[in-house]
């Protein structure tokens, strides 16, 4: 019971980090990510005093360098253009906030399990995303719960209710879709690369259940989730070599459970699609492209049509191309597309540094992660694909991995310890 409580509490803390939110009774600038960052800084100071040294790797210093340079370029852009839009000029503050919050999360996982690992972190994130999807459905259907969340949680729910979108606690719109996609990629890599997870039927069933729940319900929250679902499924098909139509012995149990889960999800989704109006509408929204393809022969969605027809907006002068206009957060240019918004804000110079920052993070962990290395290759791809739709970043996941010790990374590279890594 004590261990169960510890796992649930850790899951709540992971959710507060990964899907941060504010409180209606507190100032709008205070959110769970910031609170965890403060705790993380205090923990780091205490641990440094105990160890009589400040553990700071050269790899992390390199990431700091990218964040500092990017912030400086953005600040210069706002200064030369005489604007006060410091959305990304203060990125170094966001960088350290994520890092501090991540230190709190990883420290708690390490305290409860004796170590931090790719497997443990993925399991917690999978559980959190599954819980958020279930919460989104409950909030949409249980009025007292919805009233409670809307009263005490500050997450811009006025707009969400206006556009009639599903939301959890801190999980909504494209930011949630991007974070769901990250976790779907991590689950796929864990299932493919950890044979001990595949041998444990309950553990495998739990991860596959999370994968399909997040894929379906997460797409109802944000269609961006579909990107992670496609990448995860594609990686599973490629890495298990099922396309050869010869299933290797080590994957037999996995594919038996996988096919069973697909059948269950398809049956439940079909039943609810025909029996429940709300589920019917949400499923059509989440998989609008698929339904349009089945019904009209053309794969399209209203949002992608709008992006392609109206939102590819580029600078009109050389200075903006190089250093940007210094305007980002006020939606002056009428575009959601990440590439456009970043270049319009800080030019090709700033965006180039920002893009290299995520390539650096991905390559660094690709080299450190051993059997899980392809997760970070996929995360690099995810960053660049997501920018076709929305301006965001995924440093929050890299921040967690930066908090692993070298010994823990060595444990991730080993294959002799069944479920410790």
Q: pLDDT tens-digit profile of 8-43?
A: 999 999 999 999 998 888 887 789 999 999 999 999
Q: What is the pLDDT of residues 95-107, one digit of tens each?
A: 999 999 999 999 9
Residue 252 CA to residue 408 CA, distance in Å, equals 30
Q: Bridge partners of 154?
A: 22
Q: What pLDDT score was predicted for residue 196?
A: 84
Global confidence as pTM = 0.92
Q: Could you give the C-alpha distances from 198 to 78, 204, 258, in angstroms and in order? A: 51, 6, 11
The helix (run of H) or strand (run of E) holding residue 162 is helix 157-162
Least confident range from 94-98, 146-150, 151-155, 308-312: namely 308-312
Residues 6+ apart with CB under 8 A from 226: 215, 219, 286, 287, 289
Q: What is the pLDDT of residues 65-122, one digit of tens each?
A: 999 999 999 999 999 998 988 888 899 999 999 999 999 999 999 999 999 999 999 9
Give me the phi and psi of 416, to 5 degrees please: -95, -10
Q: List b or e across 203-225, with b for residues whose CB sees 16 or more CB atoms inside 10 angstroms.
A: bbebbbbbbbbbbbbbbbbbbbb
Q: What pLDDT score was predicted for residue 125?
A: 97
Residue 358 CA to residue 392 CA, distance in Å, equals 12
Q: What pLDDT score was predicted for residue 87?
A: 84
- pLDDT band at residue 392, thresholds of 50, 70 and 90? confident
- pLDDT band at residue 330, thresholds of 50, 70 and 90? low
Strand, coil or helix: 408: helix
Quick one: which of 196, 195, 197, 220 has its CA closest to 207?
197
Q: What is the pLDDT of residues 204-261, one digit of tens each?
A: 889 999 999 999 999 999 999 999 999 999 998 888 777 666 666 667 778 888 888 8
Q: Could you give the C-alpha distances from 406 to 123, 157, 270, 360, 410, in angstroms and in order? A: 21, 41, 47, 18, 6
Q: What pLDDT score was predicted for residue 415?
A: 53
Q: Where are the alpha helices (DSSP H) in 311-405?
A: 318-323, 338-368, 373-386, 395-402
Q: What pLDDT score was predicted for residue 396?
A: 94
- pLDDT band at residue 296, thresholds of 50, 70 and 90? confident
Residue 39 CA to residue 101 CA, distance in Å, equals 7
Percent of the chain with pLDDT strictly greater than 90: 51
Is the dihedral angle over the CA atoms 311, 317, 321, 323 positive or is it negative?
A: negative
Least confident range from 47-56, 183-192, 313-322: namely 47-56
Residue 197 CA to residue 421 CA, distance in Å, equals 10
Q: What pLDDT score was predicted for residue 331?
A: 67
Residue 216 CA to residue 226 CA, distance in Å, equals 8
Q: What is the pLDDT of residues 261-288, one digit of tens each?
A: 889 999 999 999 888 888 888 888 888 8
Q: What pLDDT score was predicted for residue 410?
A: 80
164: region left, alpha or beta (phi > 0 left; psi from -120 to 50 alpha): left
Give me the phi and psi of 388, to 5 degrees please: -70, -20
Residue 92 CA to residue 61 CA, distance in Å, equals 12
Q: What pLDDT score was predicted for residue 308?
A: 66
- In the predicted model, is pLDDT for residue 134 greater than 90? yes
Question: Tokens for 44?
Answer: 């780091």
Summary mean pLDDT of the chain: 88
Q: List b or e across 19-54, with b for residues whose CB sees 16 or more CB atoms inside 10 angstroms.
A: bbbbeeeeeeeebbbebbbebbbebbeeeeeeeeee
What do you get for the CA distance between the two ends of the chain, in Å? 23
- In the predicted model, is pLDDT for residue 2 greater than 70? yes
Question: Tokens for 140?
Answer: 């949409």
Cβ contact 184:214 at 8 Å? yes
Question: Tokens for 115?
Answer: 């170590």
Is the dihedral angle over the CA atoms 282, 287, 289, 291 positive or is it negative?
A: negative
Q: What pLDDT score was predicted for residue 35?
A: 94
Q: What pLDDT score was predicted for residue 307?
A: 65
Residue 98 CA to residue 44 CA, distance in Å, equals 14
Q: What pLDDT score was predicted for residue 247?
A: 64
- pLDDT band at residue 334, thresholds of 50, 70 and 90? confident
């Amino acid at each position: 019971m004590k261990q169960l409580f510890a796992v649930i509490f850790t899951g709540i803390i992971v959710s507060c980090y990964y899907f941060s939110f504010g409180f209606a009774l507190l100032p709008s600038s205070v959110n769970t990510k910031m609170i965890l960052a403060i705790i993380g800084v205090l923990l780091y100071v205490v641990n440094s005093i105990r160890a009589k040294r400040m553990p700071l790797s050269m790899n992390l210093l390199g990431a700091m360098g990218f964040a500092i340079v990017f912030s400086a370029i953005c600040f210069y852009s706002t200064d030369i253009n005489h604007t006060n839009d410091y959305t990304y000029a203060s990125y170094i503050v966001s960088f350290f906030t994520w890092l501090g919050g991540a230190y709190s999360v990883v420290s708690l996982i390490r305290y409860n399990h004796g170590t931090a690992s790719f497997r443990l972190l993925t399991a917690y994130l999978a559980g959190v995303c599954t819980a958020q999807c279930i919460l989104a459905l409950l909030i949409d259907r249980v009025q007292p719960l919805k009233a409670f969340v809307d009263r005490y949680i500050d997450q811009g729910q006025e707009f969400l209710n206006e556009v009639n979108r599903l939301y959890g606690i801190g999980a909504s719109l494209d930011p949630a879709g991007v974070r769901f996609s990250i976790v779907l990629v991590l689950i796929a890599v864990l299932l493919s690369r950890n044979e001990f997870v595949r041998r444990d039927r309950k553990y495998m069933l739990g991860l596959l259940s999370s994968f399909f729940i997040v894929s379906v319900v997460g797409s109802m929250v944000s269609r961006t989730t579909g990107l992670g679902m496609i990448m995860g499924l594609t990686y599973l098909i490629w890495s298990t070599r099922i396309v050869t139509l010869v299933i290797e012995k080590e994957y037999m149990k996995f594919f038996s459970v996988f096919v069973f889960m697909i059948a269950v999800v398809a049956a439940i989704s079909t039943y609810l699609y025909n029996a429940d109006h709300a589920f019917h509408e949400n499923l059509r929204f989440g998989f609008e492209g698929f339904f349009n393809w089945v019904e009209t022969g053309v794969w399209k969605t209203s949002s992608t049509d709008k992006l392609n027809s109206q939102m590819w907006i580029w600078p009109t002068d050389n200075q903006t191309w190089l250093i940007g206009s210094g305007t980002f957060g006020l939606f002056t240019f009428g575009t959601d597309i990440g590439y456009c918004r970043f270049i319009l804000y800080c030019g090709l110079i700033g965006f180039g540094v920002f893009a290299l920052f995520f390539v650096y993070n991905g390559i660094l962990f690709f080299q450190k992660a051993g059997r899980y290395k392809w997760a970070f290759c996929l995360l690099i791809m995810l960053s660049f694909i997501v920018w076709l739709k929305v301006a965001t970043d995924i440093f929050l996941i890299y921040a967690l991995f930066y908090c692993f010790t070298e010994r823990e990374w060595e444990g991730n590279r080993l294959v002799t310890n069944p479920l410790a890594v």
